[in-house]
Every structure is written in structure tokens, then in C-alpha cells.
Amino acid sequence: MTRISVVTGASGGIGRAVARRLAARGDTVALLARGEEGLEGAAEDVRRAGGTALPIEVDVADYQAVDAAAERVEKELGPIGLWVNNAFSSVFAPFVEIEMPEFVRTTEVSYLGYVYGTRAALSRMRTRDQGVIVQVGSALAYRGIPLQSAYCGAKHAIQGFTESLRVELLHEKSNVHVTMVQMPAVNTPQFGWVLSRLPRKAQPVAPIYQPEIAARAVEYAADHPKRREYWVGGSTALTLAANAIAPGILDRYLARTGFKGQQTDERRSPDQPANLWQPADENTDAGAHGDFDDQATPRSVQLWASQHHGVLAAAGAGLVAAGAAWAFGRR
């Protein structure tokens, strides 16, 4: 049967790449975002990949609108089998330079948008006792960095919320599953349209991955949702390990490198769009990729490894056995 999938923030970046990936495998995809032109571009991508698209203009910070969108999906397409929470917005600035309405708005979109999407999906999935919810997270769900306090706070909140919900579903012995995919720096349009008060253009912290890597990870998580979370990219694994072992040292390292490392050498244009309050892709289609194709990699050995624990464990056991046999034979 064709799976009915919903992707929030589907008009650009990771959401756009996820929608393409799901469509290519045969899913019918409902696309939730605010920008009309970006949504239409995403819908065309889905159709070109051979899927059926339902674009819906919605602000995920409005629960009633999100719930109404879910209701429309089920009426027009059928029961939702997969819901991917991905929509976000943010502010690039030191915390003291962020206006409180901006911080609140970031939290409403980037955290409560996930809560609202999860609730809309869960209220329908639980009655059928089946379905999958994938939360697109970040290494910043564990490790805060400078200039992104609102975004880091939202990702940390999503992490705690998802853990709580997962335990409740386990207690119910529910066949609805929720998992989280922690992303590295990804080459998406966000760096050109997130509200910024930085003197120079914002950039992802290297190493940078292409959004198709993220989309593959989301697809895999949707197909294997019993695992609590997935880490994407070697940088994510190293960051989380370093933060667990020596968070104080990481604090000082980021204090030295985190400001310069998130900015290019090019001055930021005062006319740069900001999608915090209004969509930046209302009249233009930004697609999935940002401005860093020349620096971004389309591969991740760590992602493959994280998806093949069994193979690696078997190979490791085989090497141990072979080594033991070799050592025994030398006696």
C-alpha cells in the first residue's frame, strides 16, 4: 500500500530533500510550509519523482492550523502513516541582541511546531495503533553553540519532549513509534534567509553535508523507528562524544572558534530576507540546497555505519575470532 507521509518545512532544505526521497520510494506526500512558490516547487519535485503531492500552506506555530492540515490530509489522501517534523526558524545573533518577541517566535516555530505536529499526528495514529513520527533534530539538541541560543534551546526542548513521549508510548505498548535524527551542519537555504544580526554572512560549521544525506537518514529512521535516535555525520558523533566527556573544554573551544566559524568573509547584505515572521520563499523557490555546494559532501561513512550496526558487530566478531584462531595456531 502507498504510505501517506506528511513533511513540515517541506518547501526548502532538509524538508524538501525528504519529500523528494519519500516520493521516489512511492509515498504520497503532504507538504506543509508557508511559502507559496517554495511549496509549489516542492510539489512539482514530488510529482516528477512519481509521487502524489498535496501542498498545504500552514504556519506550524498555529496548532489549530496544523490540526486542520492533518484532518485535510486524512480526508483527501487517507490515514497518515508517517509524520516528519522539520520546520524551524531562528535568529543568528548573540542572545543579548535578540528581541524577546523574536526569541518567542523562534520557540513557537522550532519547538512548539514539533509539539503541535506530533499531537496532530498522534491523535490520529493512536486510534489505529500504528504510525511513525520522525523528529528532525540536530547535534545542537545536546550541545549549545554561540549565536544560536534560540535554536539550541528549541532543539534541546524537542529532545526532552520526545524522550518523555517515547517512554509513554512504550508504557502503553503502542505500535506508534517516535524517533529522532540528530543532524550535522547541512547545506540548506536557511543561512541566507534566517534573521541575522551578524556583521558577515552566516555559514554552517564545517564539515558540511548535503541535504540528501539528511533525507536518507530520515527515510531509514522512518523504516526503522524502534531505535530511539540516529546520529548523522562524523561531526555529530564527535561533538556529542566530546560534550559527554569534556563539556567545559568544549565551552572554551567554542568561545574561541564559534563566532568566526559561523560567518564567511563576506559582509551580510542589509537586504537579506528573514523568514522569522514571513516566508522567504513566498515568491521565489530556493530548493533544497544553500550556497555551499562547493564545500558540502554528499557522503557520510558514519551514517552508513549507524545503519549497519549488525553487520559491523558481526564483522568485528569475525575479526576477533580470526585473531584468536591465528594466535592459537601459533602456539
**Per-residue pLDDT band at 300 (split at 50, 70, 90):** confident
At 320 the three-state DSSP class reads helix
CB 243 within 8 A of CB 237: no
Q: What is the C-alpha to C-alpha distance for residues 134 and 157, in angstroms, rounded to an integer?
A: 15
Q: What are phi and psi of 23, to 5 degrees?
A: -65, -40
> Exposure string (b/e) for 164-177, b if CB count within 10 Å is 16 or more?
ebbeebeeeebebb
pLDDT of residue 318: 55
**Per-residue pLDDT band at 322 (split at 50, 70, 90):** low
Condensed to tens digits (0 to 9), the pLDDT of residues 13-70 reads 999 999 999 999 999 999 999 999 999 999 999 999 999 999 999 999 999 999 999 9
pLDDT at 9 over 60: yes
Q: What is the C-alpha to C-alpha distance for residues 85 and 107, in angstroms, rounded to an integer?
A: 14
Q: What is the C-alpha to C-alpha distance for residues 49 and 207, in angstroms, rounded to an integer?
A: 29
Condensed to tens digits (0 to 9), the pLDDT of residues 183-233 reads 999 999 999 999 999 999 999 999 999 999 999 999 999 999 999 999 999
- Give the start-end residues of each E strand in the chain: 4-8, 28-33, 53-57, 80-85, 91-92, 131-138, 176-183, 185-186, 195-196, 200-202, 208-209, 229-231, 263-267, 296-297
At 142 the three-state DSSP class reads coil
pLDDT of residue 315: 53
pLDDT of residue 233: 96
pLDDT of residue 304: 72
Q: Is 323 exposed, middle or buried (0-12, 13-18, 19+ CB in 10 A)?
A: exposed
151 is an active site residue: yes
Long-range (24+ apart) CB contacts under 8 A made by 50-55 are 50/23, 50/24, 50/26, 51/22, 51/23, 51/24, 51/26, 51/27, 52/2, 52/28, 52/77, 53/19, 53/23, 53/28, 53/29, 54/28, 54/29, 54/30, 55/10, 55/30, 55/31
**Cis peptide leading into 94, omega within 30 of 0?**
no
pLDDT at 313 over 90: no
Average pLDDT over residues 91-102: 98
Number of helices (H), then strands (E), in the chain: 12, 14
Q: What is the mean pLDDT of the chain?
A: 94
Q: What is the C-alpha to C-alpha distance for residues 183 and 282, in angstroms, rounded to an integer?
A: 26
Condensed to tens digits (0 to 9), the pLDDT of residues 223-270 reads 999 999 999 999 999 999 999 999 999 999 999 999 999 999 999 999
Condensed to tens digits (0 to 9), the pLDDT of residues 134-186 reads 999 999 999 999 999 999 999 999 999 999 999 999 999 999 999 999 999 99
pLDDT at 291 over 80: yes
pLDDT of residue 312: 58
pLDDT at 329 over 70: no
Which amino acid, 165?
L
Q: Which residue in the block uniquely carries the three cell numbers 523507528?
A: 225
CB 51 within 8 A of CB 63: no
pTM: 0.92
More confident residue, 280 or 304: 280
Which residue among the candidates 142, 151, 220, 230 is catalytic per the annotation?
151
